[in-house]
Amino acid sequence: MNINVKNNVYWVGKVDWELRRFHGSEYSTHRGSTYNSYLVREEKTALIDTVWAPYAKEYVRALEKTIDLKKIDFIIANHGEVDHSGALPAIVHRLPDTPIYCTAAGVKSLKGQYHGDWNFRVVKTGERLSLGSKELVFIEAPMLHWPDSMFCYLTGDNILFSNDAFGQHYATERLFNDLVDQDELYAESIKYYANILTPFSPLVVKKIEEVLALNLPLDMICTSHGVIWRDNPAQVVHRYLEWAKNYRENQITIIYDTMWNATRAMAEAIAAGIRAADGEVVIKLYNVSNTDKNDIITEVFKSKAILVGSPTVNRGVMSSLAGLLEEIRGLGFKEKKAATFGTYGWSGESVKMLEGMLKNAGFEVKEGGLRVMWNPDDAASEQCRDFGGRLAGEFVR
């Protein structure tokens, strides 16, 4: 399948409606994904990125219906991760002499994964490749989100091929941002940023400022996942600048796990206390064991503060929370506050342990989390509401 993007630019990728897990099982893709590959057919023809390996054969078959492969003059590998390079071995098998343009780190990544001594051409920021009357301009984008990541820009058509940046895991047959459900698009875009790009936020700001300083006219952003931004493409750039600067909404998220509902009862009483103290703040509660972790991380990303609760089990915290907090640690959220709570029957270590985990994850932790023995009675429930009310005052400023 090919879809005309603009003038001589065609989408030749794959829409993956089935995908429900990405990066192994690390990232949930409730709405599937796309692997966007592009063909630029000027006097010379360039193929930009490919698709994930399981779709390599059908990709090549479909591409052959669009173009005689021998007419592809250049291959551009903006990023070596297998969701974009997975069909490269099949393409190189057919076109062994066709040059592959990528960064120096891209060569390492592609050689490391496919062990092929391919016809690589290393490019750096500012280098240009003539396609005839138009050119591709290369822009290195290291750590957005791999060392090898790169953008390229097509002059004349004013298209930025941004690879993973500005993407979403969002299967759609409608391809363009103005044709899809805007709420779904926003939800998948912010989830993608929160779960994948958060650790690289300072680099996101720097790279966007660098690209804006080039004063390149921008008609479209062709990402490698999800929609092509053609209607006001700058909107997603401005979103990224907002998200990259320690983004927070007026929200407190309460995350907990519970064995026999005692810690759940605490969570709900704390939420009631926050609500009584502050009628404006958005409060959301999630049981980690029955909620998708990437969706919770997106809510953490949006929060000013989080409260984390676990009963004590085996002198520790419930494993669901330990796993989630490890992922949160890796994302490196900044300027977020936290407090902890939990029930216990005898030893009661969980609250203190959660504090340590949250400090280790970079949160500003309000010490002295709330512990309740056994099930909260009326007095303990009142304590929870007071706790919530006090935190509302401290956390929502």
Closest residue by Cα to residue 51 from 14, 79, 22, 20: 14
Catalytic residue among 16, 164, 188, 299: 164
Among 31, 41, 207, 225, interactor with ligand FEO by CB under 6 A: 225
Q: Is 231 in the active site?
A: no
Q: Which is nearer to ligand FEO, 84 or 230 (CB)?
A: 84
Closest residue by Cα to residue 190 from 350, 26, 42, 301: 301
Neighbours of 232 (CB within 10 A): 12
| Cβ 139 to ligand FEO shortest distance, Å | 16
Q: Is 169 in the active site?
A: no
Closest residue by Cα to residue 357 from 295, 299, 306: 306
Q: Is 81 in the active site?
A: yes
Among 42, 148, 164, 257, interactor with ligand FEO by CB under 6 A: 164
Residue with nearest beta carbon to ligand FEO: 81
| Cβ 207 to ligand FEO shortest distance, Å | 15
The footprint of ligand FEO on this chain (CB under 6 A) covers a number of residues equal to 9
How far apart are alpha carbons 358 and 341 in whole angstroms?
A: 12
How far apart are alpha carbons 284 and 169 in whole angstroms?
A: 24
The answer to whether residue 355 forms part of the interface with ligand FEO (CB under 6 A) is no
Angle between helical axes of 234-244 and 182-192 (0-180°, round to 10): 40
Catalytic residue among 101, 145, 169, 240: 145
The answer to whether residue 191 forms part of the interface with ligand FEO (CB under 6 A) is no
The answer to whether residue 145 forms part of the interface with ligand FEO (CB under 6 A) is yes
Q: Is 225 in the active site?
A: yes
Binding letters toward ligand FEO, positions 78-107, x by CB under 6 A: -x-x-xx-----------------------
Catalytic residue among 16, 42, 83, 268: 83
How far apart are alpha carbons 251 and 237 in whole angstroms?
A: 24
C-beta of residue 125 within 8 angstroms of C-beta of residue 132: no
| Cβ 52 to ligand FEO shortest distance, Å | 9
What's the distance, CA 201 to chain centroid? 11
| Cβ 149 to ligand FEO shortest distance, Å | 7
The answer to whether residue 302 forms part of the interface with ligand FEO (CB under 6 A) is no
| Cβ 224 to ligand FEO shortest distance, Å | 5
The answer to whether residue 224 forms part of the interface with ligand FEO (CB under 6 A) is yes
CA angle 185, 192, 167 (to 5 degrees): 65
| Cβ 292 to ligand FEO shortest distance, Å | 20
Task: Please list, in sequence order, all residues whose beta carbon lies within 8 angstroms of the beta carbon of residue 255, skipping any fewer than 6 positions away.
Answer: 286, 288, 296, 300, 306, 307, 308, 309, 321, 324
Task: Please list, in sequence order, all residues whose beta carbon lies within 8 angstroms of the beta carbon of residue 104, skipping any fewer than 6 positions away.
Answer: 122
How far apart are alpha carbons 3 and 6 in whole angstroms?
A: 9
Catalytic residue among 42, 49, 81, 355: 81
Q: Which is nearer to ligand FEO, 42 or 83 (CB)?
A: 83
| End-to-end Cα distance, the chain | 52
Catalytic residue among 16, 225, 268, 355: 225
| Cβ 195 to ligand FEO shortest distance, Å | 12
Q: Is 115 in the active site?
A: no
Q: Count of residues for the chain?
A: 397
Q: Is 278 in the active site?
A: no
Q: Is 377 in the active site?
A: no
Catalytic residue among 10, 192, 247, 344: 192
How far apart are alpha carbons 171 and 164 in whole angstroms?
A: 15
Catalytic residue among 79, 257, 268, 299: 79
C-beta of residue 290 within 8 angstroms of C-beta of residue 242: no
Which residue numbers are catalytic? 23, 79, 81, 83, 145, 164, 192, 225
Contact footprint for ligand FEO (CB under 6 A)? 79, 81, 83-84, 145-146, 164, 224-225
